[in-house]
Amino acid sequence: MLRRSDPPPQSSDEQTEGQAPPIRTVIVIGASAGGRAAIGTVLKDLSHDIPAAIVVMLHVDPDSDFDLSKWFRQFGHIEIRETRQGERLYEGAVFVAPPRHSVTVRDGQLGLETLERTTSPRHTINRLFESAAKAYGDRVIGVILSGYLADGS
């Protein structure tokens, strides 16, 4: 488990424009619809002061209006948020992709793209992982709990 042992990050005033904020670690978690319980298991053991921002991409039925962020709140003491376009990442929070959306990370902010109904596989987990790696490099931890075909693998 990650522990708070590093010095605190710089304030946002000390950031250079265009660079990712001084978040120590970003954890990206991807799972197919069957991975909901597995994500809950991971979240229940996380401390509210984990020195990382966590972004969750879970495949769900495109017709579902199920509130994942509300469901995940039952598993722990960490802040759970439904991702919003342009929202800034910060440590100690879990950002959950809303149904029918793809999430990306860029310059410390979350991007949302509405997914159109399609029969071809969408590589939403891959896009999340690739964007986080570009933004945070070796400060990213990727977790695949389950996947569909090549998405996330």
Domain definitions of the chain by residue range: 21-144
Cα–Cα distance, 148 to 130 (Å, whole number)? 17
Active-site residue flag, 65: no
Active-site residue flag, 77: no
pLDDT tens across 63-99, in order?
Answer: 666 666 667 667 667 888 888 999 999 999 999 888 7
Active-site residue flag, 32: yes
Q: Which pTM value belongs to this model?
A: 0.77
> Which residue among the candidates 6, 13, 47, 59 is catalytic per the annotation?
59
The answer to whether the beta carbons of residues 147 and 119 sit under 8 Å apart is no
pLDDT tens across 32-59, in order?
Answer: 877 777 888 888 888 888 999 999 988 7
> Which residue among the candidates 64, 77, 138, 151 is catalytic per the annotation?
151
The CATH code that applies to domain 21-144 is 3.40.50.180
Cα–Cα distance, 27 to 10 (Å, whole number)? 20
> Which residue among the candidates 32, 45, 107, 138 is catalytic per the annotation?
32
Where are the strands (E) in 1-119, listed by range?
Answer: 26-31, 53-58, 79-82, 93-96, 101-106, 109-114
